[in-house]
Amino acid sequence: MKRIALVSAVLLAAVNYVYSAGIEMNISPDGSNVKATYSGSLDLTSFFNSGSVESMYSGGEQALLWPQEPVIGVSTTTAETEMGSIWGIDSPLPSFGSDVQSVPDSFYGDSFGITIDSGTSDQAIFFDVKDIDENNIVSVNGGMTFQNTTISDLGLNLGTYQMNDSDFAQGENITLTITPEPATMALLGLGGLFIRRRSS
């Protein structure tokens, strides 16, 4: 009986982990290119209950990376397609770089991203309503590629950045991680080794 209870508890924890993962966004070098990817899910139940999910319309197939504002997102829908959006985020995604606007050479996947109202600087999450299931969970996966460029060229600052809101389900958030060039990582590793040797 105890074994059954333990298995049930483990399975329940696994289910909660799957539905509380949030959305991970990653920007990293890929050879001579830079790739930005996103995947994961958000439980929108609390946002629906509070009436925070609004309608907006897609401007068609487009994608943009603008670190200073910040704006990062992909729309793979046709023009005038109804999208879902959530404005007034409690803890918006902070700026993650300079005032460089970059359009990717290619992009794919589900429509998703973070945008702003140019008049008020209010930040929002946007997504395609077709990606919301019967449990109010929106799941997305996609990315974009910037050819023959670097993290520095795109005006990006290395680090991990988060968006949080009281209506996110427990354990959920949106996380953006910007990874350095391989050469930079090697230098950081050597620096750490040097410090350890000096202190030993």
Q: What is the pLDDT of residues 3-55, one digit of tens each?
A: 444 444 444 444 444 444 799 999 999 999 999 999 999 999 999 999 999 99
Q: pTM for this structure? A: 0.81
- Tell me the sheet residues that pair with 103: none
The mean pLDDT value for 148-173 works out to 97
How far apart are alpha carbons 40 and 50 in whole angstroms? 23
H or E element at residue 52: none
Identify the weakest region by mean pLDDT among 32-36, 60-64, 192-196. Answer: 192-196
Tell me the pLDDT band of 184, cut-offs 50, 70 and 90.
low
Q: What is the pLDDT of residues 77-120, one digit of tens each?
A: 988 888 999 999 999 999 999 999 999 999 999 999 999 998 88
Per-residue tokens: 109: 């996947």
Share of the chain above pLDDT 90, in %: 72
How far apart are alpha carbons 148 and 125 in whole angstroms? 29
Whole-number Cα distances in Å, 122 to 69, 80, 87, 118, 119 = 10, 22, 7, 8, 8
Buried b (16+ CB within 10 A) or exposed e, 104-117: beebebbbbbbbbe
Q: How many CA atoms lie within 13 A of 8 on its CB side?
A: 5
Gap between the terminal Cα atoms of the chain: 53
Q: How confident is the model at residue 183, as a pLDDT?
A: 55
